[in-house]
A and B are shown apart, each in its own frame.
Chain A
């Protein structure tokens, strides 16, 4: 019925990314957190080895590993550095995907090769000061003027905002919500200061301001008024990749917790001997296993083009809720050492919580799942 065995090339991909993440990323994850940015050389290296093109077809400069391959990548990145996984996610899953999912062939050929190679970085701009969960009520305006569209408004919380080159911007036209490509440096387009955040500090986030920003009509992604659909389909992909990154971080929490529990002695024995600690480890292992099964089953459906919105909503909810629990459990096992900056637990704990918030809060995911289920009269 189903085969959950990786192909030889998927295994090679995973091994290579694991080597890269372990050797190049993990050693600098604490510094990335402290500096509030990912070193340019690392972003370039990630581009060079072809990570940004993992999911995408070869005709656009990708390597055709599909969503399963992309999830393998994000799992390893999430284990090593959630800031980096977030940067990759915003670029690939929601920035680049807006164009891949919504754009014309001409537009894809124009933008995607530079994005899959990492020559340019993308961002996804939907959220506004007054439109978070209620993204449908966004008010950034786009008006047609001859062969151009004029955009006015403000976007908030845009991942990669401070340094992205290509922005998928969702704005309101007479026909509804419509997506546009806005390139860095377009007159009237400015990027705000880096937001100061609790976690994923190396993933840079900013506001965007559009003051009579003119873009040629070719920059419209897909059809006028169809942008919300593109945004929702894009987020379906994004939530899946987000789940994979959460999975990687959960596995890392489990590995670190088990190693510490075997090492740390109290009452003359390793704390791993205590049943309370064992129960925590067992629960973490169960969460890792269920999340892993869900992520790859769903990614496989995505590649077969049979995935439904409710499935990626479930992945997003399960993975981020479980990650948050794993973070807390790891903190329980490490106790004082977990709270200290000497150990990665403290950073990983702060980096975990965001996954319940962005790409649609977990409450919004429950809404998607519930509405779908009510429509199906309680059947799956």
Chain B
């Protein structure tokens, strides 16, 4: 069974995000980039399926030349092959990314494609659907449990207030949800070996961007309201808050 895993390179959620001077991109200075956490679930699932059924796991990312770091992480976790589809700028349009991944998918004809449910940087939630459309494959999104047989898969999906079990024929596209698995830590010898493995690089095919970002902004930190009762203690607390926090009295 051959599996393609899509990996997005995103700022570590602990990073402090600043907007670049063009007001359209994230300023990369001082940001630590990591494998998108939902893509880690996808990669882990692919590695487990490979252990069970054999085959090959290819990880792909569409990104700038700086993306080799997440490709090495994918190698250290156990991907057999990694492909970096190099774009000049950080890609933000899902169609552009999907189009490039679809071209690779046509070449390697995977039985299964795994994405994360969303990329935690631009949060478009579109990859799975666009990719499925481009490849004319069924897609199942937000999957929290997966069983794969020779020609079909059974997936459990999180839906509002419950769970749903669905079936789909292979080849198929899945988007991974938290809970699908517990991603492994790359082992030290594998980190060392990843250094020596090749990262296949190719240039992205130019494709129209269907959605472009016109402006980004950061919400100012919202003040959270505090509701107090009319009890004696709360009145004392109100006075304290007005005096110490709000400093109005």
Contact, CB under 8 Å: A63 / B185: no
Q: Does B102 contact A (CB under 8 A)?
A: no
Complex interface: stretch among A44-52, A143-151, A339-347: A44-52
Q: Does A53 contact B (CB under 8 A)?
A: yes
Contact, CB under 8 Å: B185 / A13: no
Q: Does A218 contact B (CB under 8 A)?
A: no
A257-297: CB near B (< 8 Å → 1, else 0) gives 00000000100100000000000000000000000000000
Question: Which residue of B187, B188, B189, B191 has the most chain A CB atoms within 10 A of its CB atom?
Answer: B188
Interface size counted on chain B using CB atoms at 8 A: 19
Contact, CB under 8 Å: A12 / B72: yes
Q: Which residues of chain A are near B68, meaning CB under 8 Å?
A: 8
**Given A265-B244, A268-B243, A268-B247, are A8 and B189 neighbors across the interface (CB < 8 Å)?**
no
Contact, CB under 8 Å: A53 / B189: yes
Q: Does A106 contact B (CB under 8 A)?
A: no
Q: Which residues of chain A are near B194, meaning CB under 8 Å?
A: 9, 12
Q: Does A220 contact B (CB under 8 A)?
A: no
Q: Does A109 contact B (CB under 8 A)?
A: no
Q: Which residues of chain B are near A9, meaning CB under 8 Å?
A: 72, 191-192, 194-195
Q: Which residues of A, 6-20, contact B by the 8 Å Cβ criterion?
A: 8-9, 11-13, 15-16, 19-20
Report B130 CB to chain A, min CB distance, Å: 31
Q: Which residues of B, 167-196, contact A by the 8 Å Cβ criterion?
A: 185-192, 194-195
Q: Does A363 contact B (CB under 8 A)?
A: no
Q: Which residues of chain B are near A19, meaning CB under 8 Å?
A: 185
Contact, CB under 8 Å: B195 / A50: no
Contact, CB under 8 Å: A63 / B191: yes
Report A42 CB to chain B, min CB distance, Å: 13
Q: Which residues of chain A are near B192, meaning CB under 8 Å?
A: 9, 58, 63-65
**Given A19-B185, A20-B185, A49-B185, are A12 and B244 neighbors across the interface (CB < 8 Å)?**
no
Report A13 CB to chain B, min CB distance, Å: 6
Q: Which residues of chain B are near A62, meaning CB under 8 Å?
A: 189
Q: Which residues of B, 7-61, contact A by the 8 Å Cβ criterion?
A: 34
Q: Smallest CB-CB separation from B183: which chain A residue? A: A19
B68-104: CB near A (< 8 Å → 1, else 0) gives 1100110010000000000000000000000000000
**Given A8-B69, A9-B72, A9-B195, are A48 and B187 neighbors across the interface (CB < 8 Å)?**
yes
Report A275 CB to chain B, min CB distance, Å: 20
CB < 8 Å neighbour of A13 from B34, B191, B243: B191
Q: Which residues of chain B are near A69, meaning CB under 8 Å?
A: 188
Contact, CB under 8 Å: A12 / B186: yes
Contact, CB under 8 Å: A12 / B185: no
Q: Does A54 contact B (CB under 8 A)?
A: yes
CB < 8 Å neighbour of B244 from A16, A48, A51, A268: A268
CA distance A353 to B238 in the complex (A): 44
Known contacts A8-B72, A64-B192; 17 additional CB pairs below 8 A are: A9-B72, A9-B191, A9-B192, A11-B69, A12-B69, A12-B73, A12-B76, A12-B191, A16-B185, A49-B185, A49-B187, A49-B188, A53-B188, A58-B192, A62-B189, A268-B243, A268-B244
> Hey, which bits of chain B sit against chain A, CB under 8 A?
34, 68-69, 72-73, 76, 185-192, 194-195, 243-244, 247
